[in-house]
Amino acid sequence: MSEPATPIAETDDLDALIRRVDPDRWLSSRFVADPDARADVVALYAFDHELARAPRVASNPLLGEIRLTWWREVLDEVFDGRAVRMHPTAQALGRVVAGRGLARAPLEALIDARYRELDPTPMGEAELLDWARDTGGLAAQLAAQVLDPTTDAKMALAGGSAWALGKRLIAQPDLRPTFLKVVHAARSASRNLSITAFPAVAHAALAGRPSANDFARRLRLTIAVARGRI
């Protein structure tokens, strides 16, 4: 199966990519003091970004499935100990899995969740909650695990879910009641994360809020990290 097109230029890197396409999570990653851990978290966000692109850039559902299958094959290579294909995100993901001992199941669930986006039928509330948990939520859980293996990484699920739902509010304003319930749960759960792991959910402090200038967004995140609260 041929490699899908990637937006990463030869002179670009994953950090620059995430800064461009995922500014909320890139900003939250700036609060990770350890540069190696920061790079690993950015690699996870790059993987999630590639999965999110698959339904958006495919001209039909079949092509979207092919793209997602390509990433499932990457997981096969990573977890079978085979050479990983020469794609910047695939290579980085392989290093993170090997170095941090990540399990396959949550990474596979990130892929599975994107298949629902290939179906144009609107999601009901239960489906949306599952989708948010298995996209932004699982990405946050994996990031928390990388940042602090001793923390209860599942406490990051609600924060990541709130952020994912917040991204859909402009197109689906009727989601706000559901979003607010998840935000409430996220604020409670995030208090159980260690200080080291908190940047995995810090970006939830920006969820569902009107666009602001860069200074205002950085200030909001700084306050959230300082307080350890979304």
Locate the domains of the chain by residue range. Answer: 14-227
Burial of 211 (0-12, 13-18, 19+ CB in 10 A): exposed
CATH of 14-227, one of 3.60.9.10, 3.90.550.10, 2.40.50.140, 1.10.600.10: 1.10.600.10
Q: What is the pLDDT of residue 6?
A: 42
What pLDDT, in 10s, does the model give residues 135-179?
999 999 999 999 999 999 999 999 999 999 999 998 889 999 999
Q: Decide: 206 and 24 in contact? Cβ < 8 Å.
A: yes
Q: For residues 13 and 29, give the distance between their C-alpha atoms in angstroms, rounded to a whole number.
A: 15
Cα–Cα distance measured from residue 84 to residue 81, given in angstroms and rounded to the nearest whole number: 8
Question: What is the 3 state secondary structure string of 50-97?
Answer: HHHHHHHHCCCHHHHHHHHHHHHHHHHHHHHCCCCCCCHHHHHHHHHH
Confidence of residue 3 (pLDDT cuts 50, 70, 90): very low
* Ramachandran category for residue 81: left, alpha or beta (phi over 0 → left; psi -120 to 50 → alpha): left
pLDDT > 90: what percent of the chain? 85
